[in-house]
Amino acid sequence: MLEIKNLHVSIEGVQILKGISLKINKGEVHAVMGPNGSGKSTLAKVLAGDPAYTVTKGEVLFEGNNLLKMEPEMRAREGIFLAFQYPVEIPGVSNTYFLKAALNEVRVAKGLPELDAMEFLELFNKKLKQVEMDQTLAHRSVNESFSGGEKKRNEILQMTVLEPRLAILDETDSGLDIDALKIVAAGVNQLRSPDRSMMVVTHYQRLLNYIVPDFVHVLLEGRIVKSGSKDLALQLEREGYDGVKDSLASAKS
Amino acid sequence: MNKPDSFIQQEYKYGFVTPMEVDTLPKGLSEDVIRLISQKKNEPSFMLEWRLKAYRHWLTMKEPSWSHVHYPKIDYQDIIYYSAPKKKPKLNSLEEVDKELLTTFEKLGIPLEEQKRLAGVAVDAVFDSVSVATTFKEQLSKAGVIFCSFSEAVQNHPDLIQKYLGSVVPYTDNFYAALNAAVFSDGSFCYIPKGVRCPMELSTYFRINAAETGQFERTLIVAEEGSYVSYLEGCSAPLRDTNQLHAAVVELVAQEKASIKYSTVQNWYSGDKEGKGGIYNFVTKRGKCVGRNSKITWTQVETGSAITWKYPSVILIGDDSVGEFYSVALCNNYQQADTGTKMIHVGKNTRSTIISKGISARHGNNTYRGLVKVLPKAQNARNYTQCDSLLLGSDCAANTFPYIEVQNNSSKVGHEASTSKISDEQLFYCKQRGISSENAVNMIVNGFCKEVFRNLPMEFAVEASKLLGVSLEGSVG
Ligand SMILES: Nc1ncnc2c1ncn2[C@@H]1O[C@H](COP(=O)(O)OP(=O)(O)OP(=O)(O)O)[C@@H](O)[C@H]1O
Ligand SMILES: [Mg+2]
């Protein structure tokens, strides 16, 4: 599904990613962990096509195609979804209107007919219940004055409506209360399927109890320094990143 | 093939084309020219006298200059002040029409038949429109509403004209109002009798009959006690006109408990991407809430013209009267707009609301200039003003000049202002959801204008929102 080869990325002349290679197959869930500033969001946004970043080296294939040549909206229509770490507010644009526009653009790209207002609302209300989101939030402007947790939940709502092929969740768990965490995890798990892949960025093992990953990667200073099974997350929880750093240091010397 | 001819005759019969078959007067302005205009229009003597007084006054006036609007000097002796109604070039089919214009029509969702009419294509289907217009005309006259061209009103209702002409915008008001009073060629007159709710939006009828937009138009609307009218001026289709200077005057009079809604969608040619050409739109629009509990609402969506200078205003004389101003002004490329409103509170408990949304893109320069004036006797007057600016790109500008003069201390005046940009983060967020940048900009701009669009008649709200999209095309990303 997704193949990242030796990816180097910089922003404003600063090198952030220094050679990332990662392969995500259909149906797999990969967790990406790592200390603050290690480049997790950078990786997520580069995959989604954020023009603020410059790819200086390497390539990314999505379903065999050169992803880096595609415009962000094309990537989205091809089924890449990024749940942002910091979702932006769009004043004046209602959540439902926004999501309907998004869904219809995606549908048209897939050769499906657009949903009219009634059809969309029916779908929307169903999904709204699924993520147990408040009706009133649905009709407010996109993320405007949402609490941190509400914004995250809204991202999941959008994801369940858009049904992407590759979902990238960037710290969707941070800022969520325990109940919300379970609801979000349930929403994500419902989307798990043999043809859908996920990349889950998180700081906490806790989330991985609900969304059990097939692989865990540790990102450190722009490189994946360690990969393993879900047990790696448990180890990180126990030892922190110092453990990884130490073992790296000793391996080098 | 006598269809076009008979159509023109019918159109004339329904009163929107000036009843003259005369040639064009030479360029330039003098008392003789004004006498000729009045004579050709067969006007009663009070009209001629009024025009002459206006002209003499105009001669003593100086053309205003503003710090925020720049344009080359206009030579007033180089303008033709009177010409016979122009016949639009008749084309045989839409295939002969400029491709770019057609694409715009399509994007605006203008029905095919109307596209043809706007582009000047000979259409037989217009006969449908004519019959529709006839039905409207009957409906209106049944209700007692007078709605006709200004020239017709001068002939058929001289007493009303004499009573109200210049009663809101006197010819002494400003340079352009004086010029308009001296030379205006035509316009619309609308009279709603006591207690009558005008049975339709006056837009539909107007649009079907759309007369050539005059260079010096004059509109007068009088709403008698307890009446209501909603009037829509303009059209979202891009209008090109060979006249560069437009100086219209609009006067509204609302008697006790009467309510007038005046909505404008203006999309005159704004010049090319380098800022060449384009129309200068210097308009004086003013309403007078004469009676108690009367209400005047101005709603405008301005996307066209190279230069716009206009301040639809309300003078709140009657106690408890209400004035509202909702405006969206878009400045793209090298467009300049200096617009806003004046709310003059004279009576007790008068209330006014001002919502102004300015959008600037590329090199556009948008200025809001508003005056809220509360006179000593306007006890408990209230005003709320909100001015928001949205900038697209970094070469454009927005300025806000709210002037507030309060002369009594029981009144409350509130002002809020904001300036925002469409951020790269917002655009990326939309694109990440599959939304193209064009649609994203559209969506955000429309969201920004929501409070204003809400006040437009439904059909025009849709058009206005599409219009903004088309006008902004390609200005971001
Ligand atoms: N415009 C910029 N100029 C310079 N450095 C930047 C810029 N934007 C981001 N960075 C740096 O890139 C590095 C990686 O940031 P990134 O957001 O990817 O980290 P992260 O792993 O997601 O961290 P967190 O866990 O805190 O979310 C950080 O050190 C950050 O300061
Ligand atoms: Mg991050």
Min Cα separation A134/chain B (Å): 22
Q: Is the pLDDT of residue A199 over 90?
A: yes
Q: Looking at chain A, which residue has its C-alpha nearest residue B435?
A: A102
Q: What whole-number distance in Å separates Cα of residue B177 and Cα of residue A209?
A: 75
Residue carrying structure tokens 């969608």: B265
Residues of chain A contacting B448 with CB distance shorter than 8 Å: 91-92
In the structure, ligand 2 is a single-atom ion and the residues with CB under 5 Å from it are A 40-41, 85
Give me the mean pLDDT over the A131-141 stretch.
84
**Higher per-residue confidence, A33 vs B10:** A33
Residue carrying structure tokens 């379970």: A182
Q: Token digits for B259?
A: 């309510």
Q: Looking at chain A, which residue has its C-alpha nearest residue B438?
A: A73
- Ligand 1 interacting residues, C-beta cut-off 6 A: A 11-12, 14, 16, 34, 36-42, 85
Give me the mean pLDDT over the A240-245 stretch.
79
Q: Look up residue A57 and give its amino acid.
A: K
**pLDDT computed for residue B123 by the predictor:** 38
Count Cβ atoms below 10 Å from residue B276 Cβ, excluding itself. Answer: 9
Q: What letter does residue A113 receive in the DSSP assignment?
A: P
Q: Token digits for A145?
A: 């004055």
pLDDT tens digits for range A40-74: 999 999 999 999 999 999 999 999 999 999 999 99
Give the closest residue to B180 by CA, choosing from B226, B264, B248. B248
Give the closest residue to B471 by CA, choosing from B327, B273, B283. B273
Who among A93, A97, A106 is closest to B434 (CB)? A106
Asked if residue B232 lies in contact with residue B265, where contact means CB atoms within 8 angstroms, the answer is yes
Q: What whole-number distance in Å separates Cα of residue A188 and Cα of residue A204?
A: 16
Alpha helices in B210-294 (DSSP H): none
Q: Token digits for A156?
A: 């999941």
Alpha helices in B165-242 (DSSP H): 175-183, 202-209
Give me the mean pLDDT over the A149-169 stretch.
94
Q: Are strands A80-83 and A29-33 parallel, antiparallel or unpaired?
A: unpaired
Where residue B436 falls (left for φ over 0; alpha for ψ -120 to 50; beta otherwise) is: beta
Pocket mutation for ligand 1, best pick of A42, A207, A221 (most atoms within 8 Å of C-beta):
A42
Residue B305 — φ and ψ, nearest 5°? Answer: 70, 145
Give me the mean pLDDT over the A77-102 stretch.
94
Q: What whole-number distance in Å separates Cα of residue A152 and Cα of residue A84?
A: 8
Yes or no, beta carbons of A158 and B448 under 8 Å apart: no
**pLDDT computed for residue A66 by the predictor:** 95
B385-444 residues touching A, CB cutoff 8 A: 420, 423-426, 428-437, 439, 443-444
Yes or no, beta carbons of B425 and A88 under 8 Å apart: yes
Mean per-residue pLDDT pooled into runs of 10, chain B (477 residues): 32 28 68 90 94 96 74 78 55 64 63 58 38 65 89 93 96 93 89 93 53 71 97 67 76 98 81 68 93 96 78 96 94 79 96 93 84 96 94 82 92 91 92 92 89 82 76 63
pTM for this predicted structure: 0.80
Residue B123 — φ and ψ, nearest 5°? Answer: -130, 135
Bridge partners, residue B262, by sequence: B231, B298
Asked if residue B302 lies in contact with residue B264, where contact means CB atoms within 8 angstroms, the answer is yes
**Domains defined for chain A, CATH in brackets:** 2-34+50-252 (3.40.50.300)
* DSSP conformation letters of B153-204: HHHH-HHHHHHHTTSSS-TTS-HHHHHHHHH--EEEEEEE-TT-B-SS-HHH
Asked if residue B385 lies in contact with residue B354, where contact means CB atoms within 8 angstroms, the answer is yes
Cα-to-chain-centroid distance, residue A242:
26
Q: Look up residue B178 and give its amino acid.
A: A
User: Buried b / exposed e across A238-247, counting CB within 10 Å, b at 16+?
Assistant: eeebeebeee
